[in-house]
Amino acid sequence: MIVLNGGSSAGKTGIARCLQAVLPEPWLSCGIDGFVDSLPAALRASDTGIAFSDDGQVAVGDTFRALEGAWMRGVAATVRAGAPVIVDDVFLGGADSQARWREALEGLPVLWVGVRCDPAVAAGREIGRGDRAAGMAATQAELAHRGVTYDLEVDTTRTESLECARTIAAHLTAAPSPQPTPHAH
């Protein structure tokens, strides 16, 4: 399992697609954007679900957290069933978000990858995408990494997604298998 974490518009989804192209075996890819898109519309603008403010802040409520936990356990079940998975996520809670993933992935080998991007570059990408609340990329560029520990970090500020994917793939083949994720206490 590979977990890519970084702020909005850092390049995680592009790296995941490139990883699927360069890794020798087929890997599934799933991301937080797909999870959010799967929520009922009423939860995509609610205090109990997820809400995006005009300044790029993101707030999540109890219902979102409960469904997110189920999604994480579902991803883990897919890996346990034998399918390698690449997850791209934004750890809005930094280390707390990683702890939730660690709990769901307990006992599974995981490669934790930080995807960094200069906030100004990410903000430019955000504008170009046109599907993000203005300010999310700049707000999340450092927030997503607070207290998070990684096996590897890549920076998409000046490095293309394909090169980052090759770096990650080389790390997978050169390093011993990622260690099983211990239970977070």
Q: Helix 161-174 and helix 12-22: axis angle, to 10°?
A: 60
Which residues partner with 111 through β-bridges?
A: 2
3-state secondary structure 1-26: CEEEECCCCCCHHHHHHHHHHHCCCC
88 is catalytic: no
In order of 43, 52, 74, 93, 114, the CA distances from 147 in angstroms are 28, 23, 25, 9, 12
d(CA 135, CA 121): 12
Q: What are phi and psi of 71, to 5 degrees?
A: -60, -45
Among residues 33, 118, 151, 155, which one is catalytic? 33
State the catalytic residues: 33
